[in-house]
Amino acid sequence: MIKKEKQYTIGTDIGGTKMNAVLFDGKRVVADYQLATPKDTLDHFMVMLKALLEPLEEKARENKTRIKGIGVGVAGVIDYEKNIMLNSPNISIINGVKLVEELEKITDLPIKLDNDANCFIRAESLIGAGKGYNNNYGFIIGTGIGGGWWINGEVYRGSHGGAGEPGEMIIDYQEEVGLEEAYHKLTQNNPAQLAEETYRGDVLGQKAFEEVGQYFGIAFANIVNLIDPEIFIIGGGVVEASDLFLAQSKKIMIKHIDSEESAKKIKVIKGKLGANAGAIGAAMLIT
């Protein structure tokens, strides 16, 4: 048997608040690194992205291991044919940007691009909380709301790459307000800070998160009544504060699921891979 040369991949998860990158050996994270996501200019964004990747490339050199490529997960709608960011509501400086072309200016490594929620559910399904399940809905609660669906061993993208956007779900008919917009409003565009204040006793924060929980519960029920997954896997930066809203979400979800069998069997669990899930799933794009 020929011994296979050990190789790394890099995965980076670009969110509305943080950019996270991992050096991945196929099973474990060898090194990881984080920076705040620049919001001012594309130039600054690319400089910081380069700064995020360099320590990992350095680590690989130290370990004398080749890097096969870089997978990039990013919040927003992507044109997968042209590798353009079509709509990234929480990182507006990259809207319309050919992100792969921009990255090719700062690295010679092969690059693959995917939605961040798709990366999250890929990693959690293959080596995380969804291992052993085959119909997993990833629901990302961070700066915005993202979704990714893992079914029959792959990410479902839809006929035109537009699937997996539960943040756009309208659940307030009269105001025509989508889930993400309602979430932004309720959490005053800073869910992490509001969670902190709520833990310190802020009653209004508590009420807001209860309402967030109700919104998510309705969204979960709508998803179950359409696609009936085995499990929801919850991720994103706000998952740490999920005790403020997830019980409420489950209660509301169960109430509105049409099929008794689905209501009995559906599971809502938190991801197992923590803050690195998206970056690991991005690294897994490089095969």
Site residues, a copy of itself (CB under 8 A): 77, 79, 86-87, 134-135, 147, 156-174, 176, 178, 182, 214-215, 218, 221-230, 256-263, 265-266
Q: Is 143 helix (H, G, I), strand (E, B) or coil?
A: coil
**Is the Cβ of residue 69 or residue 167 nearer to a copy of itself in the bound state?**
167
β partners of residue 9 = 24
Provide, rounded to whole angstroms, the least separation between the CB of residue 222 and a copy of itself: 5
HEC states along 29-63?
Answer: EEEEEEEECCCCCHHHHHHHHHHHHHHHHHHHHHC
Least distance in Å: CB of 4 to a copy of itself? Answer: 34
| 40/261 with CB nearer a copy of itself | 261
- Closer to a copy of itself by CB, 11 or 217: give it: 217
Which ranges constitute the DSSP H helices of the chain?
A: 42-62, 99-104, 116-127, 179-186, 191-199, 203-227, 246-256, 260-265, 277-283
| Backbone conformation region of residue 274, classed left if phi is above 0, alpha if psi is from -120 to 50, else beta | left
Minimum distance from residue 170 beta carbon to a copy of itself (Å): 5
Q: How many CB atoms lie within 10 A of CB 168?
A: 14
Q: How far is the CB of 20 from a copy of itself (least distance, A)?
A: 24
Closest to a copy of itself by CB, 54 or 228: 228
Q: For a copy of itself, which is the closer residue by CB, 140 or 257?
A: 257
273: amino acid identity, one letter: L
Quick check: helix, strand or coil at residue 76?
coil
Min separation Cβ 208 and a copy of itself, Å: 14
Using DSSP, state whether 64 is helix, strand or coil.
coil
